[in-house]
Every structure is written in structure tokens, then in C-alpha cells.
Structure 1
Amino acid sequence: MDDNNQHHIRRNGEVTAPGLLRSTGIFAIMAGLLYIVIQLIHPPDQLSAVPSTAWIVVACLSMVMSLFFLIGLLGMYLKQVKEVGWLGLIGFILFSLFWLLSMAFGFMEAFVLPLITDNAPKVVEGITGIFGGGVREVELGFLPVLAPIAGVLYLLGGLVFGIATYRARVLPRQAAALLAFGAVVTLAAAVIPHPVDRILAVPTGLAFIWLGYRLWSEHESKAEARDLQSTQINA
């Protein structure tokens, strides 16, 4: 093996900061895709669906999706940390808190609710109705309060981070505008019945796919340019 090939392997095998940043773009793409797909395959928010395999699979996918959103969002923030300033930091924190809450609810739906459907059906119906708009017949403590809190975090987080990204001019401004729109359009859930309102997730999903692809492809282009430059020098 010649020296050029050895150098190429060692360099490509390194874990570098640009490489890690680029990988967050892949997570953002996957998060956006899962966000859209989950809306299409989510079982009805009713007691009979909770013990089903489909419910558990979707709940687990929701946990994975939330984690991917957190990783992708972190990459977007780090990519433009200087340009977005305090506005971007606030949006990043608020939006991240929403996905942390989403992950917690996903865990509950996957590993807690299916186990108590027989012994505490009213509790299960009440929890599944928190976001589905169902009527609660039992006291659920602080859990119902989390729904409006999550809504505010999603709305303000997506809107503020989208505006900050738009102003930063680092990532595609159209994608940033779509992210902000995706946050604001969720207000329409007040008049659109559930589960039809799931379609409101599509703009945010598309925005993350777009932004994630830009994160990934930009670093790929830079890596290819470095490869070409290295080849020319070695030649």
C-alpha cells in the first residue's frame, strides 16, 4: 500500500469535529422523515389500541425520533452558534425541551401504558387523551399540565429558532422559514379535529429534512474539495 493510500485511510478514520457536525445532518434528516411517517401510521388514541404491537412500535419510534431531533437540532445550533446569538440559544433550549418531553411521553406510551390497560383503563384513557383531546374521568396530577407546556415549547421553540436561523444566513433561509411556519401552523390544531391535525407536523418534518441535508451535503462537499486538493498536491 502506498503512502498516499495510508494517509487517506488514517485521515478518513479520524473522528473530527467537522465530521461529527456533518453526521448530525443525517440525524436531522431521519428525524424529519420519522416525524412525517409516524403521523401516517400512528394507531388511534384509544384504549383498545394501547396493548397492540403497532402502538408499542410507534411509541418506540417516537422515542428514537425525539432523540434524533435533539441531535439534529444540536448540529444546526453549533453550525451557526455565532450567527444566531442569544435568540438562537433561546430557540434551541425551548425546542430541545419539547423533544425531551416528547421522549418521556414516548417511553410512557411504550413501556408503561400497555402494562396497565387491564388494571387501570381509565388512567390509560386519560393519558392518551391528553394530546388527543379525550375526556378525562380520573385525576392525573400534573400530567395534563404538560400538554399546554409542550405546545408552548414547540410553538416558541420552533418559531424563535427558525427566525434566528433565517437571520443568520448560514443554513437555507427558505428551510428556516418553513421551520418557523411549521411551529406557528400548529395553532390550527385548535380548529382541526384529531387525528386530522397530525398533518400539521409535515412542514416541520420537511424543514428538518432540508436543513439536515444541507448540514450533511455541505461538509461532504468540503471533504471532497480537500480530497481533490490533497491529490493534486501529492501528484
Structure 2
Amino acid sequence: MSITPTALTRSAGLSAVAAGLLFIGVQINHPHLDADFATTAEYTVRQSLKVLMAGLSLIGITGMYLHQVKQAGVLGLIGYLVFGAGYLIMTSVEVIGAVVFPTLAHTTPAYVNDVFAVATGGHASGDIGLMQVLNLASAATFLGGGLLFGIGLFRARVLARWAAVLLAAGSVATLAFPLLPQVNARLFAIPIGVAMIGLGYSLWRGLRAPAARPLTGTVSSALHPAGTK
């Protein structure tokens, strides 16, 4: 199998589709985050899928940006960099959650509960140190980057514009979560997940190998009397 820019870009599209499906899938029947849940096998599986989702998302948005780098302009570049930083920080947060928190849940469950409270839009009762900054940085870059990148994709007019609008709108809508405490926060992941699926499919579909066309021009010229001269 030869590695070509087209093959890499199509792979990025499939990565975005997979990331969108995972982003939605891990939200389904997600238990309440607390120290007790952090000690279970289900927590480890869900955290591992979140790490995979973040990595696939980063591959996907990189392929989207490179595919339309000229049309995206400065706004597209800024959006990509901020959104990419959001996924990088998200990856670090999820890795910490998968590797460190199961152990801390046995020794310092109050700290784990406070970190989870902040991560889900609540408030910590104690000091969680730099995890507070890391969570804020993750939210700011992910949501801000999703908004800017979505606008950049919409203006570029290369990938599915409805998905670009959904990405930007979904990012903005997530900011309303603190004002809607009665709404399950995990529902806000659905628009962004669907947007990633739509954008990834659009990227993959736009690079499908064109079907072979009959060489009508060559055949007709060969049969034309002038072709014998």
C-alpha cells in the first residue's frame, strides 16, 4: 500500500468519524463521576476510549485543515491551533484521569471528587492545585477552538457547511450548561460529535477515487478518417 497525501487525508476523515462516534458513545449511560466510580473497570475503559477519541480528533482536524489550508486563511489557522491545543490538553487530562485517579481514589478520595466536580461544571470544596488551571484551559481552548474552527470551515466552503455550523453552534451552546443545571451536561457532546462525523465523512467522501471514464476522445480520434492521415 502506497502512502499518498490523498490516502492520509482520507484516513484523517475516517479518524474524525470514529472520534465523533466515540465522543457520543462514551456519554451513553455514563455513571456519575466520583471516587468510587474511579476504582471500577468501567471507568478505566471509558477513560481509555476518551483518550483514543481525543487522539483521533486531533488527527481528523489536522487533515481537515491541511486539505483546505489556502481557503481557511488566518481565521482557519487560528481556529485549528486553538482547537488542536484543546484536544492536546484534553488528552493530558484524560490520561491523568485514567492512570492517576484510580490510585488517588483509594488514598485521597476527597481530592478526586473535587477534581470531578470542577470537570463537570461544579465547584471544589478543597484545593485541587493546578488541576483547576488545566481544566479551565481545556474548556477554554476546546470550546473556543471549536467555535473558531467551525467558522473557519464554514467560510472555506470546502467541507460540509452544515457540519461546520453545528460544530461552532455546539461549542457555544456548551457555555450555557452552568445556566441549565437541570439539563444533563453530556447531552451537549452530541452536536459536536455529530459535527465531527459530518466533517469527517465530507472529507473522506470528497477524496474518493473518481470512477474510470471511457476515453471517448481517444477512441473517436482513432476511428475518425483524419486519424489515418
State how 1:1-235 maps to structure 2 within 5 Å. 13-193=1-181, 196-220=184-208, 223-225=209-211, 228-229=212-213
Q: CA RMSD in A?
A: 2.1
- Residue 120 of structure 2 contacts residue 185 of structure 2 at CA under 8 Å; is this kept in 1? no
Q: Which structure carries more helix by proportion?
A: 1
* Cα distance in structure 2, aligned partners of 1:232 and 1:52: 65
If the length of structure 2 is used for normalisation, what is the TM-score?
0.89
* Cα distance in structure 1, aligned partners of 2:84 and 2:38: 27
Letter in 1 for 2:185: D
Structure 1 residues 39 and 231: alpha-carbon distance in aligned structure 2, compared to 1, 3 A threshold: farther
SS for the counterpart of 2:36 is: helix
SS for the counterpart of 1:40 is: coil
Unaligned runs of 5+ in 2: 220-229
Structure 1 residues 108 and 165: alpha-carbon distance in aligned structure 2, compared to 1, 3 A threshold: same
Structure 1 residues 142 and 194: alpha-carbon distance in aligned structure 2, compared to 1, 3 A threshold: farther
If the length of structure 1 is used for normalisation, what is the TM-score?
0.87
Q: Deviations over 1:118-155 (max 9, x none)?
A: 21112211222221244434322121122232222122
SS for the counterpart of 2:127 is: coil
The structure 1 segments of at least 4 consecutive aligned residues displaced by more than 6 Å after TM superposition are: 230-233
* Cα distance in structure 2, aligned partners of 1:194 and 1:106: 25
Letter in 2 for 1:170: V
Letter in 1 for 2:52: V
SS for the counterpart of 1:118 is: helix
- Residue 162 of structure 1 contacts residue 179 of structure 1 at CA under 8 Å; is this kept in 2? yes
Question: For the pair shown, which has the larger CA radius of gyration, 1 or 2?
Answer: 2
- Residue 50 of structure 1 contacts residue 113 of structure 1 at CA under 8 Å; is this kept in 2? yes
* Cα distance in structure 1, aligned partners of 2:183 and 2:169: 20
SS for the counterpart of 2:107 is: coil
Give the number of aligned pairs: 219
* Cα distance in structure 1, aligned partners of 2:157 and 2:16: 19
* Cα distance in structure 2, aligned partners of 1:204 and 1:231: 44
Letter in 2 for 1:113: F
